[in-house]
Amino acid sequence: MMSPPPENETSHNSGNHGTIKVMLVDDSAIIRGLLARTLEKDKEIQIVSSVHNGHAAVDAVKRTDPDVIVLDIEMPVMDGITAIPLLLAEKPDVKILMCSTLSRKGASISMQALALGATECLVKPTSNSEIGGSQHFQESLLRFIKSVGRRARPVNRTTPAQTVAGAKPEHVFSLRSRASAYSARPAIVAIGSSTGGPQALFEVLKHISGIQVPVIVTQHMPKTFTALLAEHIQSKCGVPCHEGAEGMILENGHIYIAPGDYHMEFMRNRNNIAITLSTAPPENFCRPSVEPMMRSIIGIYGEKVLGVMLTGMGQDGIHSFKQLAQKGGNIIAQDEKTSIVWGMPGAVAIAGLCTKVLPLNEIGPWLRKNVIEI
């Protein structure tokens, strides 16, 4: 058996400048060791602290100054849920990755963690040997840490070809003319999101009570989690919200979340639009994927679809959002500064597809003004 490493802490000034600093928090020294071995294979990552409970993590967070905390849920002395607000109080910009099981209990606790400010939840294997040997888990862990962990955030760009005096632009984009996009009330609002998406959805959707069209959402999440996400949205936002199911009819004023491990698509059913679920291969490594949802709904409503792209890594949705722009549909995206990862919204913005690129706290009010009050 592999001998577990002791708890450790390294100076946050050690290592190469520009490395991503990670704190590991788990009551199992064996799991911390397995995680450390996975992460330290990448030269961009440095483990600055490895501790066994939330209390020790809160004590260490200022000294070690991590960019990312990989946090277990169930631990003695102080569990992960209790630790999240205390960690964020000590270091508000730290990104917290919760590791959870796929059970309903694990998913429920993970949704609570996201509501408290955790950045993302990752489903962990059920055994130590799988943590050390699961290529999918290891790749997901590395991809998340490298996507969110870099401390230098690019300067935000929210106007056409905007630059800041004395600053080198990272991402410059141009907006489509509002005159080129459908300007009446849309027939439906379609939202894509991934990393950081649950918090973004809570913030946006709390503004849409009274909306007179359906809202469809693809959030990259595994099964079990999406049903709980729908429950949390309904509870927090006061809008009826459902995990999509085969044959479910879209109703105005309701929100529909693509279920984990299924693409959510749509078909005409007499005078109604009904959900149909697909287990077709993943697109952009995702199922559910934004692409089939958007292609399907554009095929029904054309330019009357309002596309909204929120925070997320990768470029899922870029092709179907291009199709929507070509049809004359309106598209808005979350800006770089307020996105946890400006991958998905950045892709549509940099491609010149958006009529607006807005901070997260302005997207909900924009929807109220342009969909509800229009």
Give the pLDDT of residue 238.
94
Percent above pLDDT 90 for the chain: 70
User: Which pTM was predicted?
Assistant: 0.87
Contact yes or no for 325/299 (Cβ under 8 A): no
Q: Is the pLDDT of residue 24 over 90?
A: yes
Mean confidence (pLDDT) of the chain: 88
Contact yes or no for 191/364 (Cβ under 8 A): no
DSSP-derived secondary structure for 172-236: ---PPPGGGS--S--SEEEEEE-TTHHHHHHHHHTT-TT-SS-EEEEE---TTHHHHHHHHHHHH
- More confident of the two residues 203 and 148: 203
- More confident of the two residues 268 and 136: 268
8-148 with 178-372: one CATH topology? Answer: yes
Confidence of residue 153 (pLDDT cuts 50, 70, 90): very low
For 178-372, CATH gives: 3.40.50.180
Which residue is catalytic, options 147, 194, 296, 320? Answer: 194
Q: Which residues lie closer than 8 Å to 166 by C-beta, 6 or more apart? A: none
Annotation: CATH topology of 8-148: Rossmann fold (3.40.50)
Give the angle 188-196-283 at the CA atoms, nearest 5°: 65
Q: Distance (Å, rounded) from C-alpha 164 to C-alpha 157?
A: 9
For residue 241, the cross-strand partners are: 255
Give the pLDDT of residue 325.
97
Give the pLDDT of residue 133.
57
Domain residue extents for the chain? 8-148, 178-372
Give the pLDDT of residue 290.
98
Give the pLDDT of residue 336.
95
Q: Distance (Å, rounded) from C-alpha 64 to C-alpha 66?
A: 6
Cα 75 to Cα 7, 16, 54, 71, 158: the distances in Å are 15, 32, 7, 10, 42
- In what helix (H) or strand (E) does residue 321 lie, and over which residues does it extend? helix 318-327
Burial 14-46 (b: 16+ CB within 10 A, else e): ebeeebbbbbbbbbebbbbbbbbebbeeeeebb
Task: Say whether 316 is catalytic.
Answer: yes
Question: E strands within the chain?
Answer: 8-9, 20-25, 45-51, 68-72, 95-100, 120-123, 188-193, 215-219, 241-243, 255-257, 263-269, 272-278, 305-309, 330-334, 356-358
Which residue is catalytic, options 26, 67, 316, 335? Answer: 316
Q: Is the pLDDT of residue 2 over 70?
A: no
Task: Calculate mean pLDDT across residues 52-68.
Answer: 95
Q: Distance (Å, rounded) from C-alpha 92 to C-alpha 89?
A: 6
Task: Say whether 183 is catalytic.
Answer: no
Q: Is the pLDDT of residue 12 over 70?
A: no
Which residue is catalytic, options 52, 207, 220, 232? Answer: 220
Task: Calculate mean pLDDT across residues 121-135.
Answer: 67
> Tokens 């939840």 sit at which residue?
121
What is the per-residue pLDDT across 262-308, written as a single tens digit (0 to 9) for each?
999 999 988 899 999 999 999 999 999 999 999 999 999 999 999 99
Give the pLDDT of residue 6.
45
Q: Is the pLDDT of residue 208 over 90?
A: yes
Task: Say whether 93 is catalytic.
Answer: no
